[in-house]
Amino acid sequence: MTRLHLAGLCFPILITAACEPPSEYEAMLMREAARTDTVRTLFFNYELGMSRQAFYDSSWALNRRELVTHGPSNMNVQYKLTDQLPHAATMLYYPDFKEDRVVQMRVRISYDAWAPWNRQLWSDSLIFDVRDLMEVWYGEGFLHQQVSLPLIGSTLQFVKIDANRQITIQRGSDSEVLVNITDLHAIPVQENE
């Protein structure tokens, strides 16, 4: 009788949990996944799905025009954000490739004058400035959410999805903000996004 009573109490709880409305993120993901178009644009002349060689050729063309240079240890491309943010900043970026195609662009942004004593230049302020810049580049509609990350704990994140293109903005460290632009057709959605 006790087991039957316990099962009777659990059943309404399971039904309620199953009927819970989707989060704003889940609703955005479902709405955008239903679109039939594909969004490939990144920034400059880069695109999701472009070949590795096309990425290198595009980067070399930007370098010849003195818009970008190599980043630290030649591990990424460096772009100086001189007037797009409230303070001079550096943007480092490099894509992830799958089958020789760009599936994700990883971007790190930090203020050039960051220092432990320059509290107004820390990433907890920079994240809002980067979100504003991404809205200029990709349009408004970034959702604000808290996510739990290993070792960091709960942190602020912004996310926007346009068809298959997902853009996330989150704190990387005291000085850096991370922006990931992902092709959801090529990389599955992570659990805590």
* CA distance between the termini of the chain: 42
Q: CA torsion sign, 70 to 71 to 72 to 76? A: negative
Say whether pLDDT at 131 is over 70.
yes
pTM of the entire structure? 0.81
| Neighbouring C-beta atoms of residue 90, cutoff 10 Å | 18
Contact by Cβ (8 Å): 169, 179: yes
How far is CA 191 from each of CA 26, 59, 147, 156, rounded to the nearest angstrom? 11, 33, 10, 16
pLDDT digits (tens, 9 = 90+) for 58-87: 999 999 999 999 988 778 999 999 999 999
- Backbone angles phi and psi of 156, in degrees to 5: -75, 140
Q: CA torsion sign, 39 to 43 to 45 to 46? A: negative
Q: 3-state class of 42 per DSSP?
A: coil
Distance (Å, whole) CA 77 – CA 84 = 18
pLDDT at 188: 67
Give the confidence band of 191 by pLDDT, cuts at 50, 70, 90.
very low
